[in-house]
Amino acid sequence: MDLLSFDAEPLYFDNPPSEEVVQLLQQAAEDYSNGTAEADLQRAYQLAPEHLMVLVSLFRYYFYRHQFAEALDISEKAREVVRQKLGLPGDWRAISEAQLFDGHEHDMVLVRFYLFCLKGEAYLYARQGKAEKSIPLLEKVAALDSNDQLGTTALLAVVNRNLQQAEMTTND
């Protein structure tokens, strides 16, 4: 399955949230530099806790502020929303390539989003020094994306190399 094919599929933003939520997100974007954006984002989250536009906005806020634990929590919530929409198993380790792609030809944006959540979570774990949690996620994404269209193998190589260097430093 081609993870880069978009074929006029609806994007996850095509179902807009309420006008109040949109205004809160716009206000948060305007207030990012003065440190008051989080309150608007949290209010938007309270109003639309499962809307991907809200979750992506909140994720980006935490990610760019290097609040990786909070970003990880939001990514897991977004992934759960998408998992339910796609009807995938609750445990990402149990997902097969067939489950991910069969019958989801018109949901490739969501399939990609799901895989990007897993990859993003792996990156966040790696940034927190938790390679032992990062590597299985990256290996799963790499297995599901056999053509490496999402570029997971390069990140997996970096995490593995950093883990080996850390182990060598610890053993010295």
Domain with 112 in it: what CATH number?
1.25.40.10
Instruction: Specify if 116 maps to a domain.
Output: yes
Instruction: Specify if 9 maps to a domain.
Output: no
Instruction: Specify if 7 maps to a domain.
Output: no
Instruction: Specify if 161 maps to a domain.
Output: yes
More reliable by pLDDT, 111 or 4: 111
State the number of CA atoms in the 13 A half-sphere of 2 facing the CB.
4
User: For the chain, percent helix, then strand, then coil, each to nearest 5?
Assistant: 70, 0, 30
| pLDDT given for residue 171 in this prediction | 75
Per DSSP (E only), the strands in 9-130 are none
Instruction: Specify if 14 maps to a domain.
Output: no
Question: Over the stretch 14-66, which tens digit does the pLDDT of each residue have?
Answer: 678 899 999 999 999 999 888 899 999 999 999 999 999 999 999 999 999 99
* Count of structural domains within the chain: 1
Region 149-157 average pLDDT: 94
* 9 pLDDT higher than 60: no
- Tell me the two tokens of residue 151: 């570029």
Instruction: Specify if 11 maps to a domain.
Output: no
Instruction: Specify if 128 maps to a domain.
Output: yes
Residues 6 or more apart from 126 whose CB is under 8 A from it?
134, 155, 158, 159, 162
Instruction: Specify if 27 maps to a domain.
Output: yes
| pLDDT given for residue 1 in this prediction | 44
Domain that holds residue 27: 19-171
